[in-house]
Amino acid sequence: MQGIKDKIRAIPDYPKPGIIFRDITTLLQDARGFRKTIDEMVQPYAGTRIDKVVGIEARGFILGGAIAHQLSIGFVPVRKRGKLPYKTMQQQYQLEYGTDVMEIHVDAIQPGEQILLVDDLIATGGTAEAAIKLIRHYEGVVIGCSFIVDLPELGGRKRLEAMDVKVLALCEFDGH
């Protein structure tokens, strides 16, 4: 069977020239590849108490939902501003050109809950950092972050590790 990295499609010059977009939809549509991905994102946490999975919009919802189902625990979405229907807490984060805001429901995380944060890719780490700050605001404990892809040149892993968060990525790609 091909490795996970081999099942990720590279799309050059998307969303802008010079960027190579790492498209995980080809991995998700492969049943065995998808299953292997979920298993590998969960396996390092075997024996660790995890109370909830938090997934970052949008591909983190797919992965986080599958992981939460596999672990028989709850799932919490972190979304861009204005997408959640109930009262929310907001966290601003830096984009390449400007800022954006992530939100979480005010009742989503309880003090002391052990949280696994999930997304498809870590680049600069800004979005994941915002999610961690939201979780910590409610005194949740981020036991780790699981990603499929790391783009190490962009420094996201180091940024999260500087926050004392364990980072797992199943594969790495050079460049942006």
The answer, yes or no, to whether residue 26 has pLDDT greater than 80, is yes
- Domain 48-172 coded CATH 3.30.1330.200: no
pLDDT at 1: 45
139 is catalytic: no
Q: Coil, strand, or helix at residue 29?
A: coil
Region 33-41: what's the mean pLDDT?
A: 97
| Catalytic status, residue 59 | yes
Instruction: Give me the chain's average pLDDT, please.
Output: 95
Of residues 9, 40, 57, 59, which has the active-site annotation?
59
The pTM of the full predicted model, rounded to 2 decimals, is: 0.95
Q: Where are the domains of the chain?
A: 48-172
The runs of H, that is alpha helices, within 43-170 are: 59-71, 126-137, 156-161
Could you tell me the pLDDT band of residue 98, with boundaries at 50, 70 and 90?
Answer: confident
